[in-house]
Amino acid sequence: MDALHSAVERLLRETTVKAILPHYRNLADGDIEDKGGNDPVTIADRESEAMLSEGLSRIIPGLAMVGEEAAHADPTVLDRLSGDCWIVDPIDGTRNFAAGRPPFGILIAMASGGEAHTGWIYDCLSGRLCTAHRGKGAFIDGQKVSARSTDGTRPVAAISLVFMEEARREATKAHIAPHYDLVDIPYCAAEQYPRLALGVNDVSIFERTLAWDHAAGALWLNEAGGKAARPNGSPYRVDEVGRTGLVGAASPALWDELAERYAKLD
C-alpha cells in the first residue's frame, strides 16, 4: 500500500507541474468551454486527465478508468463504476481555476463493487495531500488526522444550493439555514472535505453527488471520524448514478442533527 500511495503521489505532483499550473491564470478564450449548466472545462482539465489516466494505467495495468471528461464524452464509461476502477477528477474546482483563483485540486479514488476503498485529495497550489484507505484512517501529508468541530456556539455550515431545485433551495434556506452560521462554499470538494475535518466547517450539504467529486472525500471524512452519508443514513456509493443528496459533518452527532432537519424538507 505504501508503494501505491507513493506512486500516486508522484503522479499527482508531476501532473500538477506539467499539465495544470502552466495554464493557471494563463488561459486563452479558446481554452475554456461550457459543458452546459455553467459547468466549465479547460484545456488543463483535458491534459490533466490524459496524463493521470496514462500514469494510473502504468501503476495498475488493466484497471478500469472513470474520468470526469471521459464520462462526459461517453456516458457508458459510468458503467465501470460497479466494478473495480479508478475514479479521476482531473481538476476539481474548475470554475475557480478558470477564473484564476483558488481553491482547486485533483481527486483520485479506487473503488470496488460500487464502494471507494482508497482515495487521494491533492491541493495543487499548497501541495497538501489527503489520503485514506478503508479501515486504516485518514492522513494529511502522511500524518494521521482526526476530525474536529469548530469552536463556535453554533455549527458552521457550507451548504451547496447550486444544483438544488428551486423548491428545495427555498426550503433549505427557511428550515435549515437559520440553525447554522453560514459560510460560502468553496466550489471545490477537494477543499470542502478537508474543511469538515480541520475545524473550519462543521456540516455541509451536497446536492449533486457525482463519483469523481465525492468518492475520495466521503471516504476520507469517514476515515477521519467524521461522517459522510446519504441523508437517510445509507453509505455513499459511487455507482448510484443520478442519485442526489449527501450530508457531510465533522462528527456523527452533527451529522444526525443536520440529517434530521434535512428529512423534514421532503
In a domain, 252, yes or no: yes
Q: 165 and 211 share a domain?
A: yes
Q: What cell numbers appear for 191 in the block? A: 477543499
Which residues are within 8 A (CB) of 256 and not within 5 positions of it... i.e. 6 or more apart? none
CATH of the domain at 203: 3.40.190.80
Residue 166 is predicted with a pLDDT of: 80
In a domain, 110, yes or no: yes
Q: 138 and 163 share a domain?
A: no
Q: CA torsion, points 11, 132, 190, 56, in degrees to nearest 10? A: 30
Is residue 37 pLDDT above 80, yes or no?
no
Is residue 36 pLDDT above 80, yes or no?
no
Q: 64 and 114 share a domain?
A: yes
Q: 53 and 126 share a domain?
A: yes
Q: What is the arithmetic mean of pLDDT over 165-183?
A: 85
Q: 12 and 140 share a domain?
A: yes
Residue 43 is predicted with a pLDDT of: 98
Residue 201 is predicted with a pLDDT of: 97
In a domain, 176, yes or no: yes
Q: 189 and 111 share a domain?
A: no
Structural domain range at position 50? 2-145
Which of 111-125, 155-169, 177-191, 226-240 shows the lowest per-residue confidence on average (mean pLDDT)?
155-169
User: Residue 173: which pLDDT band, with cuts at 50, 70 and 90?
Assistant: confident
Higher pLDDT, 166 or 204: 204
Q: 12 and 120 share a domain?
A: yes
Among residues 121, 145, 169, the one where a domain terminates is 145
Among residues 114, 145, 176, the one where a domain terminates is 145
Residue 169 is predicted with a pLDDT of: 79
Q: 20 and 126 share a domain?
A: yes
In a domain, 181, yes or no: yes
% the chain with pLDDT above 70: 99
Q: 118 and 183 share a domain?
A: no
Instruction: Give the E-state strand segments of 48-182 in sequence order.
Output: 64-67, 85-92, 105-112, 115-123, 129-133, 137-140, 143-145, 156-159, 181-182
Residue 174 is predicted with a pLDDT of: 83
In a domain, 151, yes or no: no
In a domain, 130, yes or no: yes
Among residues 124, 145, 166, the one where a domain terminates is 145
Is residue 165 pLDDT above 80, yes or no?
no
Number of domains observed in the structure of the chain = 2
Per residue in 200-211, pLDDT (tens digit) is 999 999 989 999
Q: 124 and 17 share a domain?
A: yes
**φ and ψ of 104, to 5 deg:** -155, 155
Per residue in 125-135, pLDDT (tens digit) is 999 999 999 99
User: Residue 153: which pLDDT band, with cuts at 50, 70 and 90?
Assistant: confident
Q: 171 and 136 share a domain?
A: no
Q: 163 and 131 share a domain?
A: no
